């Protein structure tokens, strides 16, 4: 069940903690994955690891999402390399945290450009080949704070909330063509960033989560693999919250 055999996927931010878990989950289900990110060396190393551990013929495509030209070239490069695109996972994102009254214009602009605008551009570019194939799965990684807000992250929360609204609109536009568009909204997930927290900080966070612990990258990977599957063809315009009950959305 949920086989992705014969499907081609593009994952942005693929060398990061959550991104690599998503890529592994898709590859394990049989997808051929184009790994994208801004660090070519990290991508290359992860590609080799993915092939060694999971198998398959995966590729890496370096792309700086803050560069509009590179963003516009990413989908054509994926089509040239893989021969098609069935699954697009917009996972890459950055933070530039700070209280609103102290936030600089470039801190706002950078987050919106990479987290929101690049996601829009990649969705738009992928629409034509997916519509021609009359099949497509788009999964955008948002965040629990896009729904709840978070002090010191006005730019990030705005971008993630924007992705959610954008996904719903896109889902309505392309549903008749066999294309779905959904979001996965992680809560606190164990990554290199959360590993830097001390024991007291970790305990404080875990106390707010009914499950009593942070999630793992595999939890997000599993959610994406489901939404990317053929079996999820009647699920579109939705946000799947994966947060251990920290925020229960209806």
| Cα distance between residue 21 and residue 217, in whole Å | 5
140 touches 163 (CB < 8 A) = yes
* Closest residue by Cα to residue 113 from 149, 148, 162: 162
Residue in 156, 170, 188, 226 annotated catalytic: 156
Q: Is 234 tagged catalytic?
A: no
DSSP string covering 64-119, please?
-TT-HHHHHHHHHHHHHHHS--SEEEE---------GGG--HHHHHHHIIIIIIHH
Active site residues per annotation: 156
């Amino acid at each position: 069940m949920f086989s992705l055999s014969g499907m081609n996927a593009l994952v942005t931010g693929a060398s990061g903690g959550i991104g690599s878990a998503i890529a592994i989950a898709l590859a394990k289900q049989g997808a051929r994955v184009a790994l994208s990110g801004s660090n070519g060396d990290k991508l290359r190393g992860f590609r080799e690891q993915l092939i060694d551990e999971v198998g398959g013929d995966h590729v890496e495509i370096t792309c700086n999402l803050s560069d509009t030209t590179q963003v516009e070239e990413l989908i054509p490069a994926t089509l040239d390399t893989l021969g098609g695109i069935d699954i697009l996972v917009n996972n890459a994102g950055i933070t530039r945290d700070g209280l609103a009254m102290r936030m600089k214009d470039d801190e706002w602009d950078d987050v919106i450009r990479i987290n929101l605008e690049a996601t829009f551009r990649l969705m738009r570019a992928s629409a034509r080949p997916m519509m021609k194939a009359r099949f497509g799965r788009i999964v955008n990684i948002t965040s629990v704070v896009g729904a709840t807000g978070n002090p010191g992250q006005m730019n990030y929360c705005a971008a993630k909330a924007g992705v959610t609204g954008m996904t719903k609109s896109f889902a309505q536009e392309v549903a008749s063509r066999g294309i779905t568009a959904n979001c996965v909204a992680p809560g606190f997930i164990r990554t290199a960033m959360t590993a830097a927290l001390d024991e007291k900080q970790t305990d404080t966070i875990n106390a707010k989560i009914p499950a009593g612990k942070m999630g793992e990258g595999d939890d997000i990977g599993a959610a994406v693999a489901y939404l990317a599957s053929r079996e999820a063809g009647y699920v579109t315009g939705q946000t799947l919250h994966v947060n251990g009950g920290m925020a229960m959305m209806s």
